[in-house]
Amino acid sequence: MKILICISHVPDTNAKIPFKDGQPDLNGIAMVIAPYDDFALARAVELRDETKGKLTVLNVGLADTEPTIRKALAIGADDAIRVNAKPVDAYFVASQIAAIAQVEKYDIIMLGRESSDFNGGMVHGMVAEILGLPCVVPCMKMDLAGDKAVMYREIEGGKEVVEVAMPFVAGCQEPIAEWKIPNMRGIMSAKSKPLKVVEPAAATNHTSVVRYEMPTQRGTVKMIPADQVEQLVGFLKNEAKVI
Amino acid sequence: MSNVIVYIEAENGEAKKHSLEAVAYGAAVAAQWGGQTVAVATADLSAEHAGEVAKYGADRILHIAGASNPQASDIAQLVAAAALQTNAGLVVLAKSIAGDLAVPMIGIKLGAAVVTNVTEVPNLAHGFTVKRAAYTGKAVTEVQLEGSIKVISIKKNAIGLVENPKVGALEAFAPTMAASSIMVKEVQKQTGELLLPEADIVVSGGRGLKGPENWGMIMDLAHTLHAATGCSKPVSDIGWRPHHEHVGQTGIKVSPNLYVAVGISGAIQHLAGVSSSKTIVVINKDPEAPFFKAADYGIVGDAFDIVPKLTAALKSAM
């Protein structure tokens, strides 16, 4: 069983992100595995253990993402690939993942439902479409049965139980597994696990970010005394006009 | 002259409200291009409700009588086929779970630039740029889309339900479609419940409510406001409420007209899921709760006292 887990390297979700000249200023901000990818990684490690297979972690990023990749190795991935390029847009990233998957022929390709920086939620669908594989998103539970997987897929207002033959792509979210924290043995062994750096396959991005800005700030909050809730009703009706 | 394709999600014969908004969005772009707005719908849209799609700006409605309840890969196939047949320059889908996955697939099929979660009509002054939320609500970003065809998904309230009456009659459309290799074995769906991502008003509860047995007053307030109910991450993590009600960074991101937060302190991960709401009301007993800084209206006090009073005041005012 060959499993691929693709991770994004993103700012800590607790961080406040300043913007300078229309670009995020990530100086001094802790970088982490994107939260949804972290859920997918946790389940991927469990499935690898279950099947005694091999789990590879992949990231498209420059050298500064290596500590994040090492963390995934410490959590349990067996080896790593870093595609040495800036992840400029979803199409570019998906093309890199697909190029590697075409050669490596993974049984399962797992990703998070979306990254917490660009929030595109597109890479899994693009990878699946390029490779001609089925894609289950958002996947909340994944169990293997022979050459198939049974998954819970979230739908509007509920969930579906779906069955898919391998190989397939899954974009995962909680509660697929609990986040795993690397232990000391994992951290020590991660240092010597193979991390291969490859140059990107030819692909042109279709979109580019012109600039970032802070969202429009709300005006000052209007406080209403606890014993005058009817005032709030009046504001919602006549001022905000939302009821 | 380029045309605009809009995918219509429908249930029980009727187009979903967010898809009607997508039609209005598509029609606004088509008007600038001097092109047509072409809606694409499966058999889930009935002929008797087709007029509503035309009312928001559809010049034509391609109707696939042979397909219903489509999976994302089905939507991708039929939308891409329609886009190729109509010489489309833009494909618009409303944000939804199936739509979210169909969008990147359509992008690959058409070799198109793709952008999700668009919050405003595009700026066509220099090419084609759109605004969207990034860093999970902590930033707004402007993105340029290249190429002769673009695929976007729009968030609720990107343009609003703007009427733009057109003739839009149903035309039979039968693209070749490959069957999905994903087998649906079971569907567990709450029926008769207002869905969180679609609701105009959302009432959410947090740990301040002390236990699942106290959700009755949240339900009462939600019913009075015709609102959907949501919750914070800790609440769904401890199982007080189902996972699909979790609003926030790793849950559902909502952009309703009114978001009412009861007993939620306002952790940055929760704010990320609600920051694009039009109006935010926060009820919390802690005056230092960070949520008040992100709110339009706030009440400091005990939820158990304020929520029933608010429900009563709303009932007498509505």
Render each residue's pLDDT in chain B as its tens digit; 318 residues. 699 999 999 999 999 999 999 999 999 999 999 999 999 999 999 999 999 999 999 999 999 998 999 999 999 999 999 999 999 999 999 999 999 999 999 999 999 999 999 999 999 998 999 999 888 878 899 999 999 999 999 998 889 899 999 999 999 999 999 999 999 999 988 766 678 888 899 999 999 999 999 999 999 999 999 999 999 999 999 999 988 899 998 888 898 999 999 999 999 889 988 988 999 999 999 999 999 999 999 999 999 999 999 999 999 987
Inform me whether the pLDDT recorded for A23 exceeds 70. yes
Work out the mean pLDDT of chain A and round it to a whole number.
95
Residue count of chain B, please give it.
318
What distance in Å separates the CA atoms of residue A179 and residue B9, rounded to the nearest whole number? 35
B182 inside 8 A of chain A by CB? yes
pLDDT of residue B283: 98
Give the count of beta carbons closer than 10 Å to the beta carbon of residue A208.
14
Q: What average pLDDT does the segment A88-112 reach?
A: 97
pLDDT of residue B192: 63
pLDDT single digits (tens) A214-235: 887 788 999 999 999 999 999 9
CB contact under 8 A, B114 and A90: yes
What six digits make up the tokens of B193? 């419940």
- The domain made up of A2-211 has a fold known as Rossmann fold (3.40.50)
What distance in Å separates the CA atoms of residue B109 and residue B129, rounded to the nearest whole number? 22
- Nearest of A139, A137, A117 to residue A128 by alpha carbon: A137
- Kindly state the helix (H) or strand (E) to which residue A32 belongs, with its residue range: strand A31-33
Q: Which of B108, B190, B223 to mutate to test the interface with A (most CBs of A within 10 A)?
A: B108
pLDDT of residue B1: 65
What distance in Å separates the CA atoms of residue A233 and residue B221, rounded to the nearest whole number? 12
Question: Which residue(s) pair with B247 in the sheet?
Answer: B252
B282 inside 8 A of chain A by CB? yes
Burial environment of residue A132 by CB neighbours within 10 A (0 to 12, 13 to 18, 19 or more): exposed
B230 inside 8 A of chain A by CB? no
Give the count of beta carbons closer than 10 Å to the beta carbon of residue B180.
16
Nearest CA in chain B to A117: B135
pLDDT of residue A216: 78
pLDDT of residue A218: 82
pLDDT of residue B191: 66
Give the count of beta carbons closer than 10 Å to the beta carbon of residue B33.
14
pTM (2 decimals)? 0.89
B259 inside 8 A of chain A by CB? no
Contact B54, B165 (CB under 8 A): yes
H, E, C per residue of B160-210: CCCCCCCCCEEEECCCCCCCCCCEEEEEEECCCCCCHHHCCEEEEECHHHC
Nearest CA in chain A to B102: A125
Amino acid sitting at position A106: Y
Residues of chain B found within 8 Å of residue A240, distances taken between Cβ atoms = 258, 278-279, 296-297
- Nearest of A224, A222, A212 to residue B279 by alpha carbon: A222
Residue count of chain A, please give it.
243
Contact B163, B55 (CB under 8 A): yes
Task: State how far the alpha carbon of B158 is from the alpha carbons of A128, B19, B79, B98, B149, in Å.
Answer: 29, 12, 21, 19, 20
CB contact under 8 A, B293 and A207: no
B124 inside 8 A of chain A by CB? no
Residues of chain A found within 8 Å of residue B72, distances taken between Cβ atoms = 125, 135, 137
Task: Provide the shortest C-alpha distance from residue A141 to chain B (in Å).
Answer: 13
ipTM over 0.85: yes
pLDDT single digits (tens) A142-177: 999 999 999 999 888 788 999 999 999 999 998 899
Enumerate the domain spans of chain A.
2-211
What distance in Å separates the CA atoms of residue A231 and residue B314, rounded to the nearest whole number? 11
Residue B95: phi and psi, rounded to 5, are: -65, 125
Give the count of beta carbons closer than 10 Å to the beta carbon of residue A184.
8
pLDDT single digits (tens) A125-140: 999 999 999 999 999 9
B130 inside 8 A of chain A by CB? no
What distance in Å separates the CA atoms of residue B228 and residue B201, rounded to the nearest whole number? 6
Task: Provide the shortest C-alpha distance from residue A63 to chain B (in Å).
Answer: 22
pLDDT of residue A96: 98
Task: State how far the alpha carbon of A77 is from the alpha carbons of A54, A87, A242, B145, in Å.
Answer: 8, 21, 49, 36
CA atoms within 13 A on the CB side of A115: 24
Q: Which of A213, A224, A232 sits opposite B140 (nearest CB)?
A: A213
CB contact under 8 A, A214 and B187: no
Q: What average pLDDT does the segment A79-95 reach?
A: 97
pLDDT of residue A42: 98
Collapsing DSSP to helix, strand or coil, B151 comes out as strand
pLDDT of residue B250: 81
What six digits make up the tokens of B230? 């949501």
Token look-up 């779970």 returns: B97
User: What percentage of residues in chain A have a pLDDT greater than 90?
Assistant: 85
Amino acid sitting at position A173: Q
- Nearest of B104, B45, B54, B51 to residue B79 by alpha carbon: B104
Q: Which of residues 4-33 of A touch B (CB under 8 A)?
A: 11, 13-14, 16-17, 19, 24
Q: Which of A156, A162, A168 to mutate to test the interface with B (most CBs of B within 10 A)?
A: A156
Q: Which of B93, B96, B101 to mutate to test the interface with A (most CBs of A within 10 A)?
A: B101
What six digits make up the tokens of A92? 């570019």
